[in-house]
């Protein structure tokens, strides 16, 4: 059985199989109850799946290259952590702030996409990511610089603190399900189709009446808001954040997930997150070689399978058949 057959099988599950998989996923805290680290990996998968879904809207669906996703992640995490630590806000009250700040920075990063495209936009966003990291390191009076923010509280539900791994698993599972539903709706919505049209050809999109500037910036805002929200959850889960947690490699990882899974496909993004979080853990002995894995994957996918594992040809509902250029 070759890889494409396996992929075909995985991406065309029957309804009952999907349900079984979902139940199995929800039962993970019970199954992994005696293996704390396994549960941590499961939580990481959910978190990164949300990030990949977030970045996929801009990178995959709208075709606007983002290499600074970690900056949005950092903004959400720092906003939430700072409010909880120094203003004694509850976790839940900080979420709208993270969301809105993310949206604001999504808007700011989205503006350049009106002027430059392709790899240039990638480098502008990379520059934005670096500036954000340098600000976090140097604005010591607010962020404590490289020392980071320790002791970020866990959220509380009805007065009891959610600190067990199992509880966090369900918290992030809820976030993932929410993001998944949102992204799936968006993919096949009028807005999603507008994004596809502008990715394929901006001039044609404009000619058929798509307000491409507005569609682009909106996709940035939504992506950034989702990623910043995930940042707030991450900070609360891991309880310590520092600028080191939001580096270029994290932006690369988000992108690698989307490319591996197949640009523009929400299912692919989740698949990419599962593979790229679980595989390195399974291949723990690789150590630093993991970065080699990401890099080789990026180059290899571009050369041999630019449409990814779960690429565009497999879009189920609206039957858009796109030729994928090599």
Partner 1 sequence: MNVLIQQFINGLTVGAVYALVALGFTLVYGVLRIVNFAHGGVYMMGAFIGFTAGKYLGVNLFISILFAMAGAAILGVIIERVAIAPLREADPYSAFLSSLGVGTVLPVLAQKMWGVSTQPYPAHIEFTTFHFGDITINSMQIVIISAAVVLVLGLQLFVHKTAMGMAMRSSSYSVTLSKLMGINVDAVIRATFAISSALAGAGGVLVAAYYDAIFPTMGFVVSLKAFTAAVVGGIGSIPGTILGGLLIGLLEALSAGFISSSFQDAIAFIILVLMLLFKPTGLMGRDVLQKM
Would you tell me which residues interact with partner 1 (CB under 8 A)?
63, 65, 67, 111-112, 114-120, 122-124, 126-128, 130-131, 134-135, 137-138, 202, 212-213, 248-249, 252, 255, 259, 288-289, 291-292, 294-300, 302-303, 306, 325-326
Q: Which is nearer to partner 1, 161 or 201 (CB)?
A: 201
CB of 101 to partner 1, least distance (A): 19
- Joined together, the tokens standing for residue 309 give 């594992």
Q: In whole angstroms, how close is the CB of 207 to partner 1 at the nearest point?
A: 13
- Residue written as tokens 């929200």? 229
Q: Nearer Cβ to partner 1, position 117 or 153?
A: 117
- Angle, vertex CA 51, rays to CA 9 and CA 251, nearest 5: 110
Given the complex with partner 1, which of 38 and 213 has the nearer CB atom?
213
Whose Cβ is closer to partner 1: residue 73's or residue 294's? 294
Nearer to partner 1, 32 or 205 (CB): 205
- Burial (CB < 10 A; 0-12, 13-18, 19+), residue 242, is middle
Nearer to partner 1, 80 or 125 (CB): 125
Smallest gap from residue 152 Cβ to partner 1 (A): 25
**What minimum distance in Å lies between the beta carbon of 166 and partner 1?**
35
As measured in angstroms, the least distance from the Cβ of 73 to partner 1 is 18
**C-beta of 38: minimal distance to partner 1 in Å?**
27
Structure tokens at 52: 């990949």
- In the complex, the smallest distance separating the C-beta of residue 173 from partner 1, rounded to whole angstroms, is 31
> Considering beta carbons, is residue 157 or 324 the nearer one to partner 1?
324
Cβ distance to partner 1 smaller for residue 299 or 318 = 299
166 burial (CB, 10 Å; 0-12 / 13-18 / 19+) is middle
Please identify, using beta-carbon distances, which residue of 165 and 290 lies nearer to partner 1. Answer: 290
**Nearest approach, Cβ of residue 302 and partner 1 (Å):** 4
CB 4 within 8 A of CB 141: no
Q: How far is the CB of 102 from partner 1 (least distance, A)?
A: 19
């Amino acid at each position: 059985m070759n890889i494409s057959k396996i992929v075909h099988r995985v991406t065309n599950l029957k309804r009952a199989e999907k349900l079984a998989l979902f139940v199995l996923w929800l039962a993970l805290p019970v199954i992994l109850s005696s293996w704390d680290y396994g549960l941590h990996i499961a939580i990481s998968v959910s978190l990164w799946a949300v990030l990949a879904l977030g970045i996929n809207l801009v990178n995959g669906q709208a075709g606007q290259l983002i290499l600074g996703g970690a900056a949005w992640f950092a903004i959400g995490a720092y906003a939430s952590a700072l409010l909880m630590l120094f203003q004694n806000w509850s976790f839940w009250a900080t979420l709208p702030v993270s969301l809105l700040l993310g949206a604001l920075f999504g808007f700011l990063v989205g503006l350049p996409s009106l002027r430059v495209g392709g790899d240039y936009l990638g480098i502008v966003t990379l520059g934005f990511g670096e500036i954000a990291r340098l600000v976090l390191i140097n604005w010591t009076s607010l962020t404590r610089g490289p020392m980071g923010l320790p002791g970020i509280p866990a959220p509380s539900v009805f007065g009891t603190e959610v600190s067990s791994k199992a509880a966090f698993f369900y918290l992030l599972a809820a976030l993932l399900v929410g993001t998944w539903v949102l992204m799936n709706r968006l993919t096949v919505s009028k807005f999603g189709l507008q994004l596809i049209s502008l990715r394929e050809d901006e001039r044609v999109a404009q000619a058929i009446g798509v307000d491409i500037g507005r569609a682009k910036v909106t996709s940035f805002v939504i992506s950034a808001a989702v990623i910043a929200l995930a940042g707030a959850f991450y900070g609360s889960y891991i309880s310590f954040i520092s600028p080191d947690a939001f580096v270029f490699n994290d932006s690369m990882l988000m992108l690698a997930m989307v490319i591996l899974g197949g640009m523009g496909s929400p299912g692919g993004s989740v698949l990419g997150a599962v593979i790229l979080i679980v595989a390195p853990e399974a291949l723990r002995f690789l150590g630093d070689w993991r970065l080699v894995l990401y890099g080789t994957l990026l180059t290899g996918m571009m050369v041999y399978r630019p449409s990814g594992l779960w690429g565009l040809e497999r879009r189920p509902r609206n039957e858009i058949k796109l030729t994928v250029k090599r």
